[in-house]
Amino acid sequence: MPNAPLAPRDRLIVGLDLDSVELAEAMIARLGDSVSFYKIGYQLGFAGGLPLIRKLADAGKKVFADLKMHDIGNTVAHGVASIARSGASFVTVHAYPQTMKAAVEGRGDSALKVLAVTVLTSYDDADLGEAGYGLGVSALVEKRAAQARTIGVDGLVCSGEEAARLRGIVGDRLALVVPGIRPAGSAVGDQKRVMTPARAIAAGADYLVVARPILTASDPRAAADAIVAEIAEASGRAV
């Protein structure tokens, strides 16, 4: 968990899951100062969006490079080192022990924070079984969280359903970043383990990742402001 209490607005990470840099820049302009933290993942990154990390950082925004790295150790270490030079604040790797160790090595003494993805929020026990795992979601998430704590990553990406249990495993040493956030009344889409902003904060989440409920809103800025207000109410802090 961050050393100092986070302002509610800084706990919202807006996922720029868009098809072009032009669309992303238009959304950033619409959101203005209502958002201080953005996520860039595969969709935008592979559409030429990785240089946007530096542009946003230079503009005073924080950026979460959601790259979910998983490869041989040398490749992961050098990839993380490259991201550390990009201006990103967070980067994700899959929570396999070798991968996490390599990412911590690649991060070095930079300010980049390595987040380990426990189990994707679109997976349930049946999905893990089909992939050959002998553990269900809860057991695998808890095992990977304990490994991440020992290895020394900076945070975990988990569903809101697991946040309270993981806080008990990792204490305040690791930040918990929760995707699959859906305000009350929002469509679930392809997610299987979702939670409202207030419930996720109450469960122990430090950061909430929200994309579609903001990007597809008729007024994205108002949608972002409403989520920030819900975070503020749940955390007992002013916006």
Which among 14, 60, 1, 4 has a CA at the least distance from the CA of 225?
Answer: 14
CB burial of residue 6 (10 Å; 0-12, 13-18, 19+): middle
Which among 139, 144, 138, 98 has a CA at the least distance from the CA of 117?
Answer: 144
Task: Choose, from 68, 101, 113, 192, the residue flagged as catalytic.
Answer: 68
Q: What are 209's two structure tokens?
A: 């990742």
Contact between 158 and 166 (Cβ < 8 Å)? yes
CB burial of residue 78 (10 Å; 0-12, 13-18, 19+): middle
Catalytic, 68? Answer: yes
Q: Which residues are catalytic?
A: 68
